[in-house]
Structure 1
């Protein structure tokens, strides 16, 4: 579950507005109509990612499309009428027409994540509305430096998948922190664009420790033409830590976009 830390963008009459319309590059307007309409989504597949995280694939025939980095609102309604709503980042690339994927951690005592991990099965229906927020979206038109921790990798993986599916030549790099290789979400999909950082245990010969300047500074030193647009996603503490590392390495503050758990 994530919440953007920036104010919402202006509404537009269509799903997306080209970024050139805005003073801040990449700030995408979202359709007020699409964001307000609840749609029925049918769970079609569950894939285990780690011992505590799984990907849930949904068929959403009327989905308006999204950009990598956007999120949605999910609603569950119990038989007694009790309603629970959560914000979740979208994991899938935009090209997966009629389907979306969410990757959820099993949060201790989490009523929604608990239902997904313990009760949900293919054929179950939930309600969704979105996509929401354009500030954290990456249209694929500028170099992207992605930094995440734990399930903060979810919206970043949507960007990586988009980069791959479109065969984009624009530079993209990702640093992702996990407790151990077993806790690294999407480990089977990660490629040469990704550098994992392990904080508790690691394969033989790989240092263990918190993400540091030694991980961030080399990426800032290899500045691509136009510089990096940095996207940071994780807990409050991680977002603050990673942002400080970026600034110390020379990344302009106004080119750091943050989405944090809340």
Structure 2
């Protein structure tokens, strides 16, 4: 997406996309940025949700050349500064900030600073799975076996080695996933103050 008068964004930030009807009714949703700031376009992942006012419009109606109202980039708390060693523990469509962080790390020659564990039900249900795996991410499927592990949620034994040398952890996913991930990180020895959480749920 091309953004007029674009300001620099940091990995982990998001934009607010607002739709406006002829009668001035508005609907808006937040979408995390997947692209690195060096990309000339801003990339978002839109999950088409049944009866989702904004997602259905973006998936089924919007066309190249349409103008959309946007505000951003937003989010200081969840952004990665590109030099602090960090772990991303992300689930489902919550992988998007981790994608932005791995792309930024690669662009800056700092791929060693970002570690990622991405969790999904199956390969089909985990966006960017191939890109994240190619970047060295640990991929965990809760309902799909792989050659590396049986299906199931990540364990403390799996997450503990990824925390070595890191100073922050970023958690993004559904409210249920975020609660699980935050507890897992604390049980693995990370201070709660070092965990930054971005959770999402159904919007009415």
1:245 pairs with 2:188: no
The equivalent position to 1:198 in structure 2, one of 126, 131, 141, is 141
Residue in 2 that maps onto 1:145:
87
Considering fraction of residues, name the structure with more strand: 1
Write out per-residue CA displacement over residues 44-82 of structure 1, whole angstroms, 9 at most, x where no aligned residue: xxxxxxxxxxxxxx1113111110001111111123332
Please report the TM-score for the alignment, with normalisation by the length of structure 1: 0.72
Residue in 2 that maps onto 1:187:
129
CA distance in 1, matches of 2:142, 2:51: 24
The 1:71–1:219 alpha-carbon spacing in structure 2 relative to 1, beyond 3 Å, is same
Specify every segment of 5 or more residues in structure 2 that has no aligned partner in the other structure, as ranges: none
Specify every segment of 5 or more residues in structure 1 that has no aligned partner in the other structure, as ranges: 1-57
Residue in 2 that maps onto 1:12:
none
Runs of 4+ in structure 1 off by over 6 angstroms are: none
Considering fraction of residues, name the structure with more helix: 2
Write out per-residue CA displacement over residues 103-158 of structure 1, whole angstroms, 9 at most, x where no aligned residue: 01112221111111222221222111111120100011110100100010011111
| Contact 1:70–1:136 (CA under 8 A) maintained in structure 2 | yes
CA-CA distance at 1:192 after TM superposition: 4.3
1:128 pairs with 2:70: yes
The equivalent position to 1:176 in structure 2, one of 101, 114, 118, is 118
| Contact 2:83–2:113 (CA under 8 A) maintained in structure 1 | no
Please report the TM-score for the alignment, with normalisation by the length of structure 2: 0.91
1:115 pairs with 2:60: no
CA-CA distance at 1:254 after TM superposition: 0.9
How many residue pairs match? The answer is: 200
